[in-house]
């Protein structure tokens, strides 16, 4: 059979398995990844270049690749070697069991935000149409997940960046989430609507934090990552302004930096919030803080 004969004359690197092995080695060296991590990335990029699921690669690992396919894979591996995040190269990232489209206009979804979403899901009654607002929605992961997990909730989401907002809208449309989107610089265009729950994963990294110059963060929108006053400027502002937009007994739930919990609780206390509590992420850091206004 012609196909078979062709396959047997290919050098190992021309098969899927060979190419994956080479790619994983290159990524391990360039990005200082362990073998398992490098293999996962190589597989994700290879699958994306070929337009298949990662699982498909395992079942077809001895198949030869065309020159065009090999070139498409090479282009992605080379970009990853230079540091571009996998999520931007493949254009997707999973969050809470769903695939979200992501571009360099929005932050890449992170596991710590699962904590915020998990707490938000517990904070309001599932069977009542409470009003929820997500501030700085980015790709929309928080608002969309809440809307899909709590169909009775009325979820709104805002962002100051029009390109981020269109990304969030597209994700909501594709996933069928009935979220109301608003172009707004914090509360500037919220009007006199009030909410039972306000959630946010705001920028909270200090502007001079060296982490901004490393890894994935170099490619992410700095607007979504960094804030003044050691990363706390926007958080302080949210704590101070949110009560005007919360119903009596409404809650504010904020993601913040691993060393910011104490300051966040102190500001909430000074602003008159009650039931203030910080929660730890999977890595054990105090990462999300909640407070309620008086009922």
Report the C-alpha dihedral over residues 142, 55, 39, 79, rounded to 10 degrees: -70
Select 201 or 278, whichever has its Cβ closest to ligand GLN.
201
Chain centroid to CA 38: 21
Closest distance of CB 29 from ligand GLN, Å: 24
Write the Ramachandran bin of 215: left for phi over 0, alpha for psi from -120 to 50, otherwise beta: left
- Taking the C-alpha atoms of residue 225 and residue 217, their distance in angstroms, rounded to an integer, is 8
Footprint on this chain of ligand GLN (rule: CB under 6 A): 110, 112, 201-205, 217, 225
Output the smallest distance, CB 96 to ligand GLN, in A: 16
Shortest Å distance, C-beta 64 to ligand GLN? 40
Question: What residue has token string 């919360």?
Answer: 246
Q: Token match 């909730």: residue?
A: 153
Closest distance to ligand GLN from the beta carbon of 160 (Å): 14
Measured from the CB atom, the residue of 64 and 257 that comes closer to ligand GLN is 257
In the complex with ligand GLN, the residue whose CB is nearer, 64 or 109, is 109
Q: What does the CA dihedral 182, 183, 188, 194 come to, rounded to 10 degrees?
A: 10
Kindly give the residue spans of alpha helices, DSSP state H, lying in 51-161. Answer: 54-59, 67-81, 86-90, 112-123, 141-149
CB of 36 to ligand GLN, least distance (A): 22
CB of 256 to ligand GLN, least distance (A): 8
Taking the least distance from each CB to ligand GLN, the nearer of 64 and 138 is 138
Indicate the residue among 132 and 217 with the shorter CB distance to ligand GLN. Answer: 217
**DSSP 8-state class, residue 15:** B
Report the first-to-last Cα separation within the chain, whole angstroms. 77
The two tokens of residue 25 are 């080695």
Residue 267 has φ and ψ, to the nearest 5°, of -65, -40
| Least distance in angstroms from the C-beta of 230 to ligand GLN | 13
Residue 38: how many other CB atoms lie within 10 Å: 21
Residue closer to ligand GLN (CB basis): 77 or 217: 217
Alpha-helical regions (H) of 129-286: 141-149, 162-175, 233-241, 261-270
Question: Which CB, 16 or 226, lies closer to ligand GLN?
Answer: 226
């Amino acid at each position: 059979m012609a196909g078979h004969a062709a396959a047997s004359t290919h050098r190992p690197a021309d098969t899927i398995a060979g190419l994956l092995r080479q790619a994983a080695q290159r990524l391990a060296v360039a990005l200082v990844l362990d073998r398992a991590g490098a293999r996962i990335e190589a597989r994700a990029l290879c699958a994306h270049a070929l337009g298949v699921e990662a699982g498909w690669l395992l079942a077809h690992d001895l198949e030869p690749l065309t020159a065009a396919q090999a070139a498409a894979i090479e282009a992605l591996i080379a970009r990853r070697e230079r540091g571009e995040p996998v999520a931007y190269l493949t254009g997707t990232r999973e969050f809470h069991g769903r695939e979200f489209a992501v571009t360099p206009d929005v932050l890449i979804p992170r596991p710590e935000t699962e904590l915020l979403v998990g707490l938000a899901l517990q904070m309001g009654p599932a069977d009542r149409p409470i009003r929820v607002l997500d501030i700085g929605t980015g790709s929309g992961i928080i608002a969309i997940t809440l809307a899909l997990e709590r169909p009775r909730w009325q979820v709104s989401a805002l962002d100051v960046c029009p390109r981020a907002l269109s990304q969030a809208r597209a994700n909501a449309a594709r996933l069928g989430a009935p979220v109301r989107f608003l172009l707004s610089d914090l509360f500037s265009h919220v009007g006199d609507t009030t909410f039972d729950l306000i959630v946010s994963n705001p920028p909270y990294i200090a502007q001079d934090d060296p982490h901004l110059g490393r890894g994935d963060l170099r490619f992410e929108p700095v607007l979504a990552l960094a804030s003044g006053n050691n990363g706390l400027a926007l958080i302080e502002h949210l704590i101070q302004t949110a009560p005007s937009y919360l119903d009596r007994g409404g809650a504010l739930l904020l993601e913040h930096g691993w060393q910011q919990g104490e300051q966040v609780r102190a500001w909430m206390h000074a602003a008159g919030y009650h039931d203030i509590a910080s929660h730890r992420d999977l890595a054990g850091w105090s990462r999300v803080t909640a407070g309620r206004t008086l009922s």
